[in-house]
Amino acid sequence: MSDADEVTPQITSLPGGPYLVRGGVPLVRKTAVQSEHGEPLAWRTSAPLETTGSYALCRCGQSGNKPFCDGSHAAAEFDGTDAAVTDYDDRASTLGGTGITVRDDRAICAHAGFCGNRVTNIWEQVGETGDSLVRAAVIAEVERCPSGAITYRFDDVDVDVEVDHPVQVSATDDGPLWVTGGIPVTTSGGETLEARPRVTLCRCGASANKPLCDGSHHDAGFTDS
pLDDT in tens, 3-30: 444 689 999 999 999 999 999 999 999 9
Flag whether pLDDT at 44 surpasses 80.
Answer: yes
Which is nearest to 88 in space by CA: 206, 200, 196, 216? 196
- For the chain, how many structural domains are there in total? 2
Query: Do 11 and 62 fall into the same domain?
Result: yes
Query: Do 126 and 93 fall into the same domain?
Result: yes
pLDDT attached to residue 158 = 92
Query: Do 77 and 9 fall into the same domain?
Result: yes
Query: Domain end: 124, 154, 184, which one?
Result: 154
Flag whether pLDDT at 1 surpasses 70.
Answer: no
Distance set, CA 116 to CA 47, 71, 144, 176, 216 (Å): 26, 38, 11, 19, 19
Query: Domain end: 130, 154, 178, which one?
Result: 154
Mean pLDDT of 117-128: 96
User: pLDDT tens, 164-215?
Assistant: 999 999 999 999 999 999 999 999 999 999 999 999 999 999 999 999 999 9
Query: Do 105 and 141 fall into the same domain?
Result: yes
Q: Where are the beta strands (DSSP E) in 110-155?
A: 150-154
Does the residue 193 lie in any domain? yes
Does the residue 159 lie in any domain? no
Query: Do 14 and 68 fall into the same domain?
Result: yes
- 3-class SS at 106? helix
Flag whether pLDDT at 144 surpasses 70.
Answer: yes
Does the residue 225 lie in any domain? no
Q: Are strands 150-154 and 168-172 parallel, antiparallel or unpaired?
A: unpaired
Q: Which residue has the higher pLDDT, 225 or 21?
A: 21
Query: Do 29 and 131 fall into the same domain?
Result: no
Mean pLDDT of 86-113: 96
Please, are residues 197 and 148 in contact by the beta-carbon 8 Å criterion?
A: yes
Q: What is the pTM of this model?
A: 0.94
Does the residue 13 lie in any domain? yes
Flag whether pLDDT at 2 surpasses 80.
Answer: no
Mean pLDDT of 46-68: 96
Query: Do 80 and 92 fall into the same domain?
Result: no
Name the residue range of residue 203's domain. 3-39+46-84+167-220
Q: Is the peptide bond before 211 cis (omega within 30 degrees of 0)?
A: yes
Does the residue 76 lie in any domain? yes
| Beta bridge partner(s), residue 189 | none
